[in-house]
Structure 1
């Protein structure tokens, strides 16, 4: 039986702005199973990034239940959330969020060290597939946007996460670089059967995912 990676049931999230309540997620249900790859689209402000933040545990829902790796997270402590993020979650940000004091190799190795792991053959495979071998000793601030995004992908996948969350991962790249990065991201994730939820405004990037979800009025439409 295929494992459930993410399950949301009746998830509601509201924000107060100027004394007015805005419900961005409205009793939302969704299910993501092992190996699923999802493109999440929707208008600006529709709640796409909020949904990713809820799944990552950076925010909490106002109502409903969230299960990760078949475990209900309602009673998770901060330590359990930290363990999930450290061991089972990879994140790729639009702004890269690399550790600028470190070189490329140390950025990629960072999640490994958090888990007490050493550099291994999978890391070598990531580096070679993403064309990063000549850049390993370079400091990340000296790299182009496309190169930095490749480093971010390698870092997110280095510890073989069960789930990858990507928020506009190609938003700062030109079209050619975007498509190249998407192809590599999908190929590498597929090798480890990693599930992906990717927020994107690009229909071309969305085509790389198996399924497409659209968030509108607090609900997912496939």
Structure 2
């Protein structure tokens, strides 16, 4: 299987809505290599977030196989999923999902603490590159949207995950802040050798990724 961090083989997913069955993913095959960057586009309701949730282990499949880090996840229990998320996964959402009583630095250190890891020079570098040096001891509630999203990125990359899942990471930002965040996100992910799978409606954001997958009517087209 080579150096794939994510491999989906013949994955299908759907749900019943009353007496109607909606096929969300239809026999999907895809591979995401180490340090690969992919934009996932498609109309609203096409299943983009479902696909991210399956890869992150928040939704499960009954049809097909999902391999993460060359390991077949079909027999994984909560323990293996938690371990994978803690060690190898970073996540950035449209809602920043920060821990509001904590300051910037403690938010970033949160993913490290889960892994019993110490603060590293890489974390200082993230703070510097993301322009958070001046605000690192401030409560995240006092920050602008753009600053909060930068904190979310620093937190997601602090433990140098193999995979970053991003769901509309610039959706709540104005265009200028969005461009800045994407520039920094791609630069820092490259430096930490992190693969990115990013859901976006923005063709400007998609252009930052090396590849583009379009999900429509249950199928993915590259």
Give TM class, smaller chain: over 0.9
Residue 93 of structure 1 corresponds to 93
Q: CA RMSD in A?
A: 0.9
Once the two structures are TM-superposed, the CA of residue 2 in structure 1 deviates from its matched residue by 5.4
Cα distance in 2, alignment partners of residues 108 and 197 from structure 1: 21
* Alpha-carbon contact 1:2-1:34 (below 8 Å) kept: no
* Alpha-carbon contact 1:14-1:62 (below 8 Å) kept: no
Cα distance in 1, alignment partners of residues 10 and 103 from structure 2: 43
- 2:74 counterpart SS class: coil
- 1:176 counterpart SS class: helix
- Identify unmatched segments of 5+ residues in structure 2: none
Once the two structures are TM-superposed, the CA of residue 18 in structure 1 deviates from its matched residue by 2.4
- Identify unmatched segments of 5+ residues in structure 1: none
Q: Deviations over 1:110-167 (max 9, x none)?
A: 0000000111100000000000011111111111100000000000000000000000
Residue 23 of structure 1 corresponds to 23
Residue 48 of structure 1 corresponds to 48
- 1:74 counterpart SS class: helix
TM-score normalised per structure 1 = 0.98
Change (3 A) 1:214 1:124: same
Residue 166 of structure 2 corresponds to 166
How many residue pairs end up in the alignment?
222
- 1:90 counterpart SS class: strand
TM-score normalised per structure 2 = 0.98
- 2:99 counterpart SS class: coil
Change (3 A) 1:171 1:7: same
Q: Deviations over 1:67-126 (max 9, x none)?
A: 001111000111000000000000001000001111111000000000001111000000
